[in-house]
Amino acid sequence: MGFYGRQVLPRLLNKAMDTKVEREIRPRVCAGLHGQVVELGFGSGLNVAYYPSEITKVSAVEPSDVATHLARVRIAASPIPIEIAGVAGERLDLPSGEFDAVLSTWTLCTISDVDAALGETRRVLKPGGALHFVEHGHAPDPDVARWQARLDPLQKRLMSGCHLTRPIDQLIERAGLVIERLDTYYVKGAAKPWGYTFEGRARVA
């Protein structure tokens, strides 16, 4: 990852992912979180303001030092304890079966080995624990999907590995998680190749 990916992109995302659209979605995805939570792709801490009071601790996983630095004010202001617990979703240095929930917001698109990350998600969750997620990904409309396929190589270069074409629901189910709620939609105001969204919750059976 070059200078742009290390230094510039985290700062751009801190602004670009904090628009009215994301601020409407984040509280829905965070609703129901409780107990011990792992957040994949913690970023600059944009979800912190929406953590329910029922959370007792957050283990934050984030590969970017710059994003973690940008999050410091949000972490300090949070009434819920937040600890930086690793940098790689594919290899969580966390105990098995001890967490009530995992939170992932616009993260699974970028993790290089998404199957490994979802396998780790399933491993650390308690029986009945839940993955709360919102992700953009592969659209069902053929014309949009073709554009996603065309744009994907450029997207990965400009956004440090972010994919437009991942079938998020299928990936979650392939990891052995059971989707109990799923809403799919195009985000209002976003170009369709970037805007097709999977929002929901999946549980360990």
CATH number (domain holding residue 198) = 3.40.50.150
The Cα 34–Cα 61 span in angstroms is 18
Q: What angle do CA 31, 33, 36 make, to 5 degrees?
A: 165
Tokens of 156: 């990965």
For 135, the domain range is 3-204
Closest C-alpha to 184, from 149, 152, 137? 137
Q: How many domains are contained in the chain?
A: 1
DSSP H/E element including 98: none
The C-alpha R_g of the chain, in whole angstroms, comes to: 16
Closest C-alpha to 205, from 126, 148, 144, 150? 126
Q: What's the predicted TM-score (pTM) here?
A: 0.95
Number of H helices, E strands in the chain: 9, 7
In tens digits, what is the pLDDT along the chain, a chain of 205 residues? 688 878 998 898 999 999 999 999 999 999 999 999 999 999 999 999 999 999 999 999 999 999 999 999 999 999 999 999 998 999 999 999 999 999 999 999 999 999 999 999 999 999 999 999 999 999 999 999 999 999 999 999 989 899 999 999 999 999 999 999 999 999 999 999 999 999 999 999 8
